[in-house]
Amino acid sequence: MLIVQKFGGTSVGDLDRIANVAKRVARTRDEGHDVIVVVSAMSGETNKLIEYAHFFSKTPQREAMDLLLSSGERVTSALLSIALNEMGYKAVAMTGRQAGIFTDKSYTSARIDRIDPAPMGNAIKEGRIVVVAGFQGIDPDGRVTTLGRGGSDLTAVAIAGAMGADLCEIYTDVDGVYTTDPRIEPKAKKMDQISYDEMLELASLGAKVLQNRSVELAKKMGVNLVTRSSFNDNPGTLITKEENIMEKPLVSGIALDKNQSRVSLKGVEDRPGIASEIFNALAEESVNVDMIVQTIGADGKTEIDFTVPQSEIERVKGVMERFRESIGEIEYKEDVAKVSIVGVGMKSHSGVAAKAFTTMAKENINIEMISTSEIKISMVIDEKYAELAVRALHEAYELDK
């Protein structure tokens, strides 16, 4: 098999940890696999480099910034390669450019355009372990670019896709993806498998194990992703195509987003164009509107409710001032939470939503807004009850079993 192994900042946080990573890579090699390793900078290193730049300028030149930031990952790739060679393995370190990673010119947040499989492929044919500096590439003018914070995951997934790897393992300091946040529900279980779409829903809702961009790319390229810990031998969580998932649980996980506020517009003029005016005005102020619910109008008036991140509520208030004429009453509730139930199994089963509502009723929690998609049911509730709701739902769907 060809396996891509990516090690994040904490996994390569000091020299002893890099030595441990070398042992793990060596073990994979000993099992007879070809290995491409992608590394992050040692933890804290990228932040330190950014601080250095800010010593001189608040708006550092972006091309220089990318040259600077890319150096963190180069250090770890070279050190890991040195460690592996010392252990008797043939390893070669490569920068993004040497690995044939071509990007656009958006310095500090570049997109990977293509990967030339030849440099890494040739090294593998020679029996080498390839150690690539993550988070970087080269633009059409030959300048170094970086992919945006956390971009090493993206490097690993893109390489796995371009090289046709069988597996892309992302090593971090957590064991994998959990049925809910274990800090809220200690009975949360690590999942063995989950589909790309479920992972995307859970990630955007706060289960931050993997960058969403990386999961999206893995889905697009059909890369089998595994997230696991570099500090133990637990197998981790496989993120793959829905077809590959053997037993499809009704519900896979419960996500919580406490950073939500609700805005209720009552007595809104019920006429074509009103929603367009309101939401365009919000978009112009870069407000991230999430859930939107409009009720059927009566007597020429309607009600529109929506949620926004708590930190953007002041901006929303500013925008809404402009609509005084066309809206009867505006109510803001700053402390609400969004609880979401995610699972591919609900596509083919009835009663999943009813169970969620019954669970809330039993706990005497009022549901303020509801929205659903094919694989998700989201409820907006008072933030006070957020943890209680998560625990009750976790139990109701037997996720602790």
Helix or strand holding residue 257 (H, E): strand 253-269
**Which residue lies nearer to Mg ion by CB, 8 or 137?**
8
Closest separation in Å from C-beta 74 to Mg ion = 17
> Which residue in the set 5, 7, 8, 253 belongs to the binding site for Mg ion (CB under 5 A)?
8
Task: Using CB under 6 A, pick the residue from 5, 152, 237, 340 that binds ligand ASP.
Answer: 152
* Binding piece for ligand ASP, criterion CB under 6 A, among 60-68, 103-111, 145-153, 286-294: 145-153
Q: Which does 72 bind (CB under 5 to 8 A by kind): Mg ion, ligand ASP, none?
A: ligand ASP
By CB under 6 A, name the one of 13, 96, 137, 151 that touches ligand ASP: 151
Residues 6+ apart with CB under 8 A from 270: 297, 300, 301, 302
What does the alpha-carbon distance between residue 49 and residue 354 come to, in Å, rounded to a whole number?
A: 52
Among 137, 150, 253, 343, binds ligand ASP (CB under 6 A): 150
We find the least distance from the C-beta atom of residue 150 to ligand ASP, in angstroms, to be 4
13 makes contact with Mg ion (CB under 5 A):
no
Contact segment (CB under 6 A) with ligand ASP among 143-151, 163-171, 193-201, 285-293 equals 143-151
Cβ atoms of 191 and 253 closer than 8 Å = yes
**Minimum distance of ligand ASP from residue 134's CB (angstroms):** 6
Decide if 359 contacts 393 (C-beta within 8 A): yes
Q: Which of 62, 111, 149, 213 binds ligand ASP (CB under 6 A)?
A: 149
Cβ 192 to ligand ASP, closest distance in Å? 25
Q: Dihedral sign, CA of 212, 217, 219, 220?
A: positive
Classified as helix, coil or strand, 338 is: strand
Residue 135 interaction partner, one of Mg ion, ligand ASP, none, beta carbon < 5-8 Å per kind = ligand ASP
Site string for ligand ASP, 119-138 (x = CB under 6 A): ---------------xx---
Pairing of strands 112-115, 167-172: unpaired
CB of 22 to ligand ASP, least distance (A): 19
* Sequence-ordered alpha helix ranges (H) in 178-273: 196-204, 212-221
Binding flag, residue 46, ligand ASP (CB under 6 A): yes
Q: What are phi and psi of 197, to 5 degrees?
A: -65, -40
Q: Does 39 bind ligand ASP (CB under 6 A)?
A: no
CA separation for the pair 288, 106 (Å, rounded): 23
Q: How many CA atoms lie within 13 A of 261 on its CB side?
A: 17
Distance, in Å, from the CA atom of 8 to the CA atom of 210, rounded to the nearest integer, reads: 11
CA dist., res. 128 & res. 126, Å (int): 6
Find the part of the chain contacting ligand ASP (CB under 6 A) among 40-48, 60-68, 200-208, 382-390.
Answer: 40-48
Task: Please identify, using beta-carbon distances, which residue of 7 and 89 lies nearer to ligand ASP.
Answer: 7
When the beta carbons of 145 and 260 are compared against Mg ion, the nearer one is: 145
Phi and psi dihedrals of 93, rounded to 5?
A: -90, 140
Residues 6+ apart with CB under 8 A from 396: 355, 356, 358, 359
Q: How far is the CB of 232 from ligand ASP (least distance, A)?
A: 21
Determine if 150 is a binding residue for Mg ion (CB under 5 A).
yes
- Interface residues toward ligand ASP, by CB under 6 A: 9, 40-41, 46, 72, 134-135, 149-152
